[in-house]
Amino acid sequence: MQKTRIRLDNISKSYYSETAVTQALRKINLTFSEGEFVAITGESGSGKSTLLNIIGGMDSFDDGEMYIDGEPTFQYDDQDWEDYRQKKIGYVFQDYSLIGHYSVLANVVSALMIMGYERQEARKVAFTYLEQVGLSEYVKHRANELSSGQKQRLSIARALAKNTGIIVADEPTGNLDSETGEQIMRLLKELSKTRLVIMVTHNFEQAERYVTRKIRIHDGELISDVQMNKELADEVTAINEENSATLTENSDTNQGGFRGWLNSFKKQSKLAFFFARKNCLTLPGRSLLFTMFLLIVSVVSFLFIGQLFMNADDIFTKEYSQKGFYKANATRLVVKKEDGSTFTDEDLEVISKVNHVIVVDSCDFANDINYYIEEDRDYEYLRGRRIRGEGESKVVSFLNESHFMMSTDCIDEGDLAAGRLPEARNEIVLYADDSSILGEERLCYFTAANIWDVNECYQTNLVVTGILKNPTEQVYFSKELCNMLSMDMDSGEYRLYYNYDYTKEDYKQKPRVVPVIADDLRGNLVRISHKFEVPTVGYVDFHFEDRDGEVIESEVRVLPETNASTTDFMEVSEEFFYTYYSKEIKQISVYMTSYAKTDEVIKALADKGYLAMSTYRTSVTEYLESLVSERLIIIAISAGVLVVLAFAQILILRSLMKIKIKDFFVLKFIGMKLQVIKKISHFEFLIYTAIAMMITVIAMWVLRYSGVAMIRDMMWYYEFGAYAFFVLYNLVLSAITVAAFNHLLKGRLNA
């Protein structure tokens, strides 16, 4: 008598639905031993499959007890049933339950790897079993390219490869023609010599010659149980299940503690990764679809996370006041030395090398002086009112205040396409389409609302000595001109003292004047507007008070101004000018790549001993309601998009994943643990998401450097925080998507 493997004791099973209760099995008592080839027969709906599924550990029972190798199963948990399915049962199904997109070989290898075989070993073993069922010529074919008979043979090879002592087969010949069915019967009969084979069949005639036992059920009840073909049963020699037992021991979690957990985690991950990779490779269409979808999510999230980070600072919702710094440029810093000392060339060199510093201009104050060089763009003449000019009557009107002086500190020879950098005071470089304007004179007006009086404008002719390579409206002026026009701020204040009042013992007139150089003047000869009514005979007292309050007194001789000028400028000789002009640089302007880098640059400069201040931050005052709400709307929209995107991804991808849900049933039936099954999709999505994120980031960098302004401005805000947010958002979202799918999958697998 052979060893008993399975014993069913009063097993009952009912299916409950909302409308009805179906009793599929009623008090079944059966015992199965090694070497038996059992046929379960009965009409459709009689409970055959239910019985087989209970034996195979794929379905639960309500009542009674099942003994496996003499052990009762009442205390079995999910894990124990997983082990049972993995180690003791091989399955053959009517619908073959193959993974159609895997190769023939991979279908068998999969089963072996689930049992704990290494990949190479699994391949070797798989070949022998494929040979045994006559499929060695088809190993490279996709499983769904096979004929029905070949599919069933493959499914048998897979069950065989597991080397289990029990094989259950549910209508294995149900979809086969009779001749192919015969082949399968012979194969199963052969197997039963060393195993217990239990088969459900609706076609008993076909099985009659091979089986050793026939069980008939009707309406969930056992009707008959007869032994047949006695002579066949005698040949039995049980197989050695040891092989599989030792293998599976390796992959077990029996090793307690953290190390045990870690070990099994590693093993499971490796296995899951193998299947994830296989899915990526064998389902290129699906992989591409998922990656494209995730790419869209990744790109959209990148853009809106950028918006969130750009709008994190509310500075741009405040009104800029031009009182302190006339030029409202968010990338400008004003820098002083910590000890208040003078900047040297080395200082400028050090500062220009600080990360994210692009321009250093030692002529700081000139950066707040407007220039107007292009007629009809920057200024126009209104005719009819005679205010200034010889013969012609015209008045200049400025059209914008968008151009501010910058000195040639900000450029070097490399920026020039033609010509040279300015050497003399009245020389400039600018951008032009053709270099024929080299040497041409340009009339240029200047206003400096914060330095001179608001209505003041200085005009002079400048010579173009260089053409810039890159298109820009910015004109670069000689440092002499920059310093000359900002002299008042740089060095100190000029006053003329005249009309002495002997009774009060003070001058009646002490007007402030702004010095500018006129090349035709020499010595202390100056020229000044008629409006001052300065005595033009003899000398006039001149007071210069520097920034520290020190006063130098001197005398000038005043020339009557021929022009009917109303300006506060005093034209002086170059030598006079430089007597009072301080060439010490105490304050410079520094421009950064982006406002986003303000804190970083200020900190880097502080580390090197420089005090830096954002001119923009110090100049913004009141909130502007419209901008505040605009910012809040952008933040709300961005956050909203990220939330909607998350839901869309979870719902859409979860449904798309359902298309291949059958594969997971197959994996479960061939013994894969649920924990591993769940990991497969996680790894798969990790791969897709990583690819999508990589493509996104590369694309953004390409766009940034191909000059897409919107992307470039945003990318400055992409620092560690934003990237971390982006990566986390996409990874966590994918993990949630997979978890949502796994939840659904778990429900289906356990049903």
Nearer to ligand ADP, 226 or 751 (CB): 751
Which of ligand ADP, Mg ion, none interacts with 47 (beta carbon under 5 to 8 A by kind)?
Answer: ligand ADP
First to last CA, the chain: 37
Compose the 23-62 pattern: x for residues touching ligand ADP by CB under 6 A, - for all others: -x-----------------x-xxxxxxx------------
Stretch that binds ligand ADP, among 15-23, 351-359, 408-416, 488-496 (CB under 6 A): 15-23
Shortest CA distance to 749 belongs to which of 82, 268, 116? Answer: 82
Which of ligand ADP, Mg ion, none interacts with 50 (beta carbon under 5 to 8 A by kind)?
Answer: ligand ADP
Asked if 116 touches ligand ADP (CB under 6 A), the answer is no
**Cα 408 from Cα 416, distance rounded (Å):** 11
> Which residues have a Cβ under 8 Å from the Cβ of 543 and sit 6 or more positions away?
494, 495, 496, 497, 510, 551, 552, 553
> Which residues have a Cβ under 8 Å from the Cβ of 585 and sit 6 or more positions away?
342, 343, 362, 364
Nearer to ligand ADP, 44 or 626 (CB): 44
**Residue 522: C-alpha distances to residues 81, 429, 465 (Å):** 108, 28, 27
Query: Smallest distance from the beta carbon of 167 to Mg ion, in angstroms?
Result: 17
Among 10, 22, 240, 397, binds ligand ADP (CB under 6 A): 22
Place of tokens 């013969």: 391
Residue nearest to Mg ion (CB): 49
Which of Mg ion, ligand ADP, none interacts with 79 (beta carbon under 5 to 8 A by kind)?
Answer: none
Triad 279, 282, 287: Cα angle to 5°: 60
3-class DSSP state of 264: helix
**Cα 401 from Cα 398, distance rounded (Å):** 8
Query: Smallest distance from the beta carbon of 285 to Mg ion, in angstroms?
Result: 33
Pseudo-torsion of CA 217, 222, 223, 224, nearest 10°?
100
Compose the 267-306 pattern: x for residues touching ligand ADP by CB under 6 A, - for all others: ----------------------------------------
Nearer to ligand ADP, 144 or 750 (CB): 750
Shortest CA distance to 95 belongs to which of 42, 169, 24? Answer: 169
Asked if 173 touches Mg ion (CB under 5 A), the answer is no
**Cα 129 from Cα 105, distance rounded (Å):** 10
- φ, ψ of residue 411 to 5 degrees: the values are -130, 170
Triad 699, 705, 706: Cα angle to 5°: 85
Nearer to Mg ion, 51 or 657 (CB): 51
Compose the 5-44 pattern: x for residues touching Mg ion by CB under 5 A, - for all others: ----------------------------------------
**Cα 233 from Cα 214, distance rounded (Å):** 13
Among 33, 46, 49, 53, binds Mg ion (CB under 5 A): 49
Which of Mg ion, ligand ADP, none interacts with 44 (beta carbon under 5 to 8 A by kind)?
Answer: ligand ADP
Q: What is the DSSP secondary structure assignment for residue 503, as one 8-state letter?
A: T
Nearer to Mg ion, 41 or 150 (CB): 41
Nearer to ligand ADP, 44 or 254 (CB): 44
**Cα 213 from Cα 191, distance rounded (Å):** 15
Do residues 343 and 583 make contact, with C-beta atoms less than 8 angstroms apart?
Answer: no
Query: Smallest distance from the beta carbon of 211 to ligand ADP, in angstroms?
Result: 17
Which of ligand ADP, Mg ion, none interacts with 46 (beta carbon under 5 to 8 A by kind)?
Answer: ligand ADP
Asked if 94 touches Mg ion (CB under 5 A), the answer is no
Which of ligand ADP, Mg ion, none interacts with 24 (beta carbon under 5 to 8 A by kind)?
Answer: ligand ADP
Shortest CA distance to 305 belongs to which of 729, 17, 689, 4? Answer: 729
Which of Mg ion, ligand ADP, none interacts with 57 (beta carbon under 5 to 8 A by kind)?
Answer: none
Size of residue set near Mg ion by CB under 5 A: 1
Nearer to Mg ion, 184 or 672 (CB): 184
Shortest CA distance to 388 belongs to which of 376, 396, 397, 379? Answer: 396
Size of residue set near ligand ADP by CB under 6 A: 12
Query: Smallest distance from the beta carbon of 146 to Mg ion, in angstroms?
Result: 23
Query: Smallest distance from the beta carbon of 49 to ligand ADP, in angstroms?
Result: 3
Nearer to ligand ADP, 134 or 174 (CB): 174
Q: Residue 577 class from Cβ within 10 Å (0-12 exposed, 13-18 middle, 19+ buried)?
A: buried
Nearer to Mg ion, 49 or 206 (CB): 49
Place of tokens 């033009």: 536
> CB 1: neighbour CB atoms within 10 A?
6
Q: Which residues bind Mg ion (CB under 5 A)?
A: 49
Q: Which residues bind ligand ADP (CB under 6 A)?
A: 15, 17, 22, 24, 42, 44-50
